């Protein structure tokens, strides 16, 4: 048996399919799955590339801080990415980018949510509030003022997420206890350890929102 004949025989897989053909087909199938579409029998590499191109961007309408935004987004884009990179609402910070630190917290229909773990498509036609949306004209909102007055920050990187967590808490519970405040911000990490002042700021913000204007 010559070398060429042996090579062809070795390449044959069960059912008469060569290894080369099997690997080519498997590659096309993998690309099709990555594109979110089923592999089509007889598809070529060019067909697979077209499937990916067709899914690059889809239209979405987001309601952010009371304004409707019409955008083209890739299905894989997170809400945090859209806010920061496309709409330049950089009050939303990215820390871990995997739902552990809370720096990217925004409100979705009034509820605190990690924007790094929320796809932009998930938030379509829902009310999104970012740090910028808490401003009262040119003035800081109640929670922002409370954080400033109680010095509830050190490096400040986690502060936007902490503020949004407290805002969300106070919208659902206007007069929380200390334990409820601790629970309300438990999903937001402060590596500087300013938690005691964050709790005081949350208490003051509750008073400000209820019109008392002060308190510790």
Q: What is the pLDDT of residue 211?
A: 86
Q: What is the pLDDT of residue 56?
A: 81
Q: What is the pLDDT of residue 116?
A: 97
Q: Which pTM does this prediction carry?
A: 0.73
Q: What is the pLDDT of residue 106?
A: 98
Q: Which H, E and C letters describe the chain, residue by residue?
A: CCHHHHHHHHHECCCCCEHHHHHHHHHHHHHHHHCCCCCCCCCCHHHHHHHHHHCCCEEEEEEECCEEEEEEECCCCEHHHHHHHHCCCCCCCCCCCCCCCCCCEEEECCEEEEHHHCEHHHHCCCEEECHHHHCECCECCHHHHHHHHCCCCCCCCCHHHHHHHHHHHHHHCCCCCHHHHHHHCCCCCCCCCCHHHHHHHHHHHHHHHCCCCCCC
Average pLDDT per 10 consecutive residues for the chain, totaling 216 residues = 52 43 40 40 50 70 96 95 96 95 98 97 96 95 97 96 98 97 97 97 96 57
């Amino acid at each position: 048996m010559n070398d060429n004949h042996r090579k062809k025989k070795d390449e044959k897989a069960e059912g008469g399919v060569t290894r080369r053909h099997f690997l080519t087909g498997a590659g096309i199938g993998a690309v099709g799955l990555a594109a979110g579409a089923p592999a089509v029998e007889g598809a070529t590499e060019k067909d697979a590339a077209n499937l990916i191109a067709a899914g690059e961007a889809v239209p979405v309408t987001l309601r952010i801080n009371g304004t409707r935004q019409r955008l083209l987004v890739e299905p894989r884009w997170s809400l945090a990415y859209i806010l920061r990179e496309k709409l330049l609402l950089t009050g939303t910070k990215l820390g871990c980018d995997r739902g552990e630190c809370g720096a990217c917290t925004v409100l979705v229909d009034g509820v605190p949510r990690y924007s790094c773990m929320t796809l932009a498509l998930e938030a379509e036609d829902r009310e999104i509030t970012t740090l910028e949306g808490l401003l009262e004209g040119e003035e800081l909102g109640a929670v922002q003022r409370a954080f400033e007055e109680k010095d509830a920050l050190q490096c400040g990187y986690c502060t936007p997420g902490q503020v949004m967590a407290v805002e969300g808490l106070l919208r659902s519970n206007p007069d929380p206890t200390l334990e409820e405040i601790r629970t309300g911000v438990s999903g937001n990490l402060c590596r500087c350890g300013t938690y005691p002042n964050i709790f005081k700021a949350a208490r003051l913000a509750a008073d400000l929102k209820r019109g008392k204007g002060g308190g510790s």
